[in-house]
Chain A
Amino acid sequence: MLRKQLKYDFIFAARFFLGMGAAGIGLGLLVFIMGGLSQSPANFSLGAMQLMSTAWTVALAMSVAQIYQLYSRQFFGEVGHLMLTLPVGRGVQLLSKYLVALFWSFYIFATMFLSLRLMAARSESSSVGITGPGGEVLTGINLAGPLMQFAALAFSAVAILFLIVTLANCTLGGWRVHTIIAWLVGGLYFAAFVWAIAAISGRAREWVTVDTSFVHDGVVHMGMRTFLAPTIGADIGRVPLGDMYVDVYLIAAALAFGLAAAGATHWLLRKKITLA
């Protein structure tokens, strides 16, 4: 049944994510082509990347919203009358949604990264415009370590989002009220969680020196630094992995948070679910 549940959850989410990712890569390709025609390719690329960073911040927020809807509608909306009466256990349904949410999170980050790489291709730096602590221009991408970190963070973020929605539904009832509150609380929780993880890893002090808004810079730079781990300045918990560093504490804390949230969500769904 997991395979069948995965199939339909994947299809439900693909309707939104496929198009968004494709549009992002399309824009990156367009900037790459237009940069070649521009008299100043480097400036054109950097300008486009700054604009695109804002667009991708919005895209990330929309992705979180879509993941929330995938879960909320199928458990607590009218479609829940169908999904929750299938011969599929709650645990299997939850696991399917976690896996699908993780897949599409990776997809969005991959398309975002590819899009920005396309835009940066004609700039003077062959990186995505990030400089290291010593002022050096970063080149090359090694994804193995950052992907592990991103996977742990993404799992935790999804699990916590699902837990917030379930808690709100179980305690408040009335889908309009719980939807609004779940959004606010979920968003604050997610932001606080990211900040807490960053603080554990010592990254937070880097962010407070940035003079742009936390939402924009935090989300975009977190994504960048996840893929460019050599730039991270934290020492505690860093484990060398080839020429990369992996934050063991970050991964352990993220997984612990995620598993706790997943367990609590599963228990709530079995015991407290209300589909009024």
Chain B
Amino acid sequence: MDNILEITDLGKRYGRMVAVEGVRFSLAPGKILGLLGPNGSGKTTIMKVIMGLLTDYTGEVRIAGAPPEVHPPGVAANRYISYLPDAGHIPTWFTTEQAIRFFADFYTDFDEAKAGEMLDAMKIPRHKRVKALSRGMQEKVQLAMVMARRAKLYILDEPIGAVDPASRDFILNTLLAHYAEDSAILLSSHIIADIESVLDEAVFLREGKICMMGEADALRQERGMSLDQIFREVFRNA
């Protein structure tokens, strides 16, 4: 089966500043890959390039096995991708019910029933405005909207970055429970200890370049330590 995502020699500059350089990795169906690195290491930049939010990059991004000229990052490819950005992206004056309606209107693969079940499980009222919810609840609403889509690729930028430890567990369990086996997840985080248990593969980024990558179990075995410990060792002086 074709890889869902293939990145080849990706480079992105902001003026003279190199954000990402020479990044190369792929993601197969059914896998969860973690982009790991400190703030400013290029994780979000890579995700935004895949989503078509950033242009003027070098290298190749291949989505769902299609050549870039057929499905370049952007409108056509985004039909296969469900994206959770780092920042809050749902209009805060929306109620949760309006958010469901919005996603259902634009995405044919959005499962309204599934979204409703997730919100009910989180005990989030349907008629409450997003801005009236706590930060953690807002993250959960956004995650519910993203995971309620039957996408081939889920891209989650710092999904647990701004929530309490109990909510982190809930979010990670929701991720595992609601993605299909023929889909894949690309997630980024700098809180390695909480997410490493769900990762199949890991890519460590430093200053826009890959400094280590491989299967999570293989890296743990090779180094004799957890991914969190590897991260702390690799980025001790970052």
A residues near B (Cβ < 8 Å) are 1, 4, 7-8, 12, 15, 78-82, 84-90, 173, 270-276
- 8 Å CB contact of B87 from A8, A15, A81, A270: A81
Q: Which residues of B contact A89 (CB under 8 A)?
A: 75
Q: Which residues of A contact B87 (CB under 8 A)?
A: 78, 81
Interface of B is mostly: loop
Whether A84 pairs with B90 at a CB distance below 8 angstroms is: no
- 8 Å CB contact of B107 from A15, A79, A87: A87
Render B77-100 as a binary contact track against A, CB cut-off 8 A, 1 for contact: 011010101011111010000000
Given A87-B106, A88-B75, A275-B48: A12 in contact with B91 (beta carbons within 8 A): yes
Tell me, in angstroms, the Cα distance from A85 to B51 when the chains sit together: 7
CB distance from A11 to the nearest CB of B (A): 9
Chain B: interface size category: 20 to 34
Whether A87 pairs with B79 at a CB distance below 8 angstroms is: yes
B residues near A (Cβ < 8 Å) are 14, 48, 51-56, 75, 78-79, 81, 83, 85, 87-91, 93, 102, 105-107
Q: Which residues of A contact B107 (CB under 8 A)?
A: 87
- What are 12 residue pairs bridging A and B, where the CB atoms are less than 8 Å apart in the complex? A8-B102, A79-B89, A81-B53, A85-B53, A87-B78, A173-B14, A270-B55, A272-B56, A273-B54, A273-B55, A275-B48, A275-B54
Residue of A with least CB distance to B157: A81
Tell me, in angstroms, the Cα distance from A39 to B83 when the chains sit together: 66
Tell me, in angstroms, the Cα distance from A163 to B90 when the chains sit together: 25
Tell me, in angstroms, the Cα distance from A119 to B137 when the chains sit together: 49
Whether A82 pairs with B55 at a CB distance below 8 angstroms is: no
Given A81-B53, A81-B83, A275-B54: A86 in contact with B106 (beta carbons within 8 A): yes
Q: Which residues of B contact A274 (CB under 8 A)?
A: 14, 54
CB distance from A110 to the nearest CB of B (A): 26
Tell me, in angstroms, the Cα distance from A78 to B44 when the chains sit together: 14
CB distance from A206 to the nearest CB of B (A): 44
Q: Which residues of B contact A173 (CB under 8 A)?
A: 14
Whether B93 pairs with A15 at a CB distance below 8 angstroms is: yes
Given contacts A87-B75, A90-B75, 15 further A-B contacts (CB under 8 A): A4-B105, A8-B105, A78-B87, A81-B87, A85-B53, A85-B81, A85-B83, A87-B78, A87-B79, A87-B107, A88-B106, A273-B54, A273-B55, A275-B48, A275-B53
Residue of A with least CB distance to B51: A85
Q: Which residues of B contact A275 (CB under 8 A)?
A: 48, 53-54
Whether B53 pairs with A273 at a CB distance below 8 angstroms is: yes
Tell me, in angstroms, the Cα distance from A144 to B85 when the chains sit together: 48
Q: Which residues of B contact A87 (CB under 8 A)?
A: 75, 78-79, 106-107
Q: Which residues of A contact B88 (CB under 8 A)?
A: 78
Tell me, in angstroms, the Cα distance from A84 to B53 when the chains sit together: 7
CB distance from B29 to the nearest CB of A (A): 21
Tell me, in angstroms, the Cα distance from A275 to B106 when the chains sit together: 21
CB distance from A193 to the nearest CB of B (A): 29
CB distance from B52 to the nearest CB of A (A): 7
Tell me, in angstroms, the Cα distance from A173 to B53 when the chains sit together: 14
Tell me, in angstroms, the Cα distance from A90 to B76 when the chains sit together: 12
CB distance from A271 to the nearest CB of B (A): 6
Most buried by A among B81, B83, B89: B89
Residue of A with least CB distance to B98: A11
Whether B79 pairs with A82 at a CB distance below 8 angstroms is: no
Given A272-B55, A273-B55, A275-B54: A85 in contact with B78 (beta carbons within 8 A): yes
Q: Which residues of B contact A86 (CB under 8 A)?
A: 78, 106
